[in-house]
Amino acid sequence: MNKHSVEVNAVAGTFQPDNILKAAGSDLLCDLDLTNDELGYLLDLADEVKRAPKNYANAMGGKSIGMLFEKPSLRTKLTFDLAMAQMGGSSVFLEGPIGVREPLKDVARNLDRWVNGIVARVFAQSTVEALAQWSSVPVINALSDAFHPCQALADVLTIRERFGRLSGLKLAFIGDGNNVAQSLMLTAVRLGMDFALGCPTGYLPDPDIVAQAEGLAAVSKAAITITHNAAEALDGAHAVYTDVWASMGQEQEAVERRTAFHLYQVNDALFAQARPDAIFLHCLPAKRGEEVTDSVMESERSAVFQQAENRLHAQKALLLMMLT
């Protein structure tokens, strides 16, 4: 058991809520709402939950979450739903625009009378921030156009499982400087990982978020590289990450984006620019033949389904820290 792991009764395997480090912030709206210590603790707790899930079978007994999703989902919905169910809790789900049928502030204040937490998958970052403003229970950002913190937690958990450490490794993201790239950049550099982004002109990440990441990297001594040369970004990379070229809400840009991103496909030749032991990562769903080839997705070095599994374990740890 590592230094951050919670203690359980060795005989009965009972959950001890007082041994969980509670997240100091009441919400997870962006990656930086977890302190560095909380981030490290969460990864260790996720390891523990994954190793001994039965020890947490009643951790959410009597608790429930409300899931408000403006965007379709497979991994996010099912892993939060299963996380609650496997820890003895429950979840309710509503899909559709938030704040249209009735004001968002009314939605939030109805939900916080019924559930112990709100998980929101939205378009605008302002939507999840407004939910947190009006809700008295924790709000978790399960994806917005600015951040995808739950994905980043599962990603760094996967990288650590593969390499046994995070500090000193290099993560390269190829493609759009989108919400996933921004969350990964903020999370990776805090953990001492170098981060490189290879993307075309016009698709850079938010400069304010880059500035935040550079400030964090100065403390951790990590390096940040942003380049239009995909091969340069992959040089020395331990993990190579990509995402779809046109995310949800960008479908009308699909043709334009295919033209802009065609040199950024992670194929065998480009993947070979990384370290020989590099792993391939993708938040899924993947459009095989566009941002990644089938041969890379199905290679022995692909960790995409390990990533998908780890959404469950990382989110269990997050729920334990925020709701118990």
Catalytic residue among 27, 30, 121, 315: 121
Catalytic residue among 151, 182, 212, 273: 151
Catalytic residue among 75, 238, 311, 313: 311
250 is catalytic: no
Catalytic residue among 30, 33, 148, 257: 148
Catalytic residue among 33, 81, 243, 313: 243
Catalytic residue among 283, 307, 313, 315: 283
SS3 per residue for 245-290: CCCCCCHHHHHHHHHHHHHHCECHHHHCCCCCCCEEEECCCCCECC
133 is catalytic: no
283 is catalytic: yes
148 is catalytic: yes
Q: Which residue has the tokens 């699909």?
A: 254
Q: Which residues of 95-116 are buried (b: 16+ CB within 10 A; e: fewer)?
A: eeebbeeeebeebbeebbeebb
Q: How buried is residue 93: exposed, middle or buried, by Cβ count under 10 Å (0-12/13-18/19+)?
A: middle
Active-site annotation, residues: 121, 148, 151, 243, 283, 311
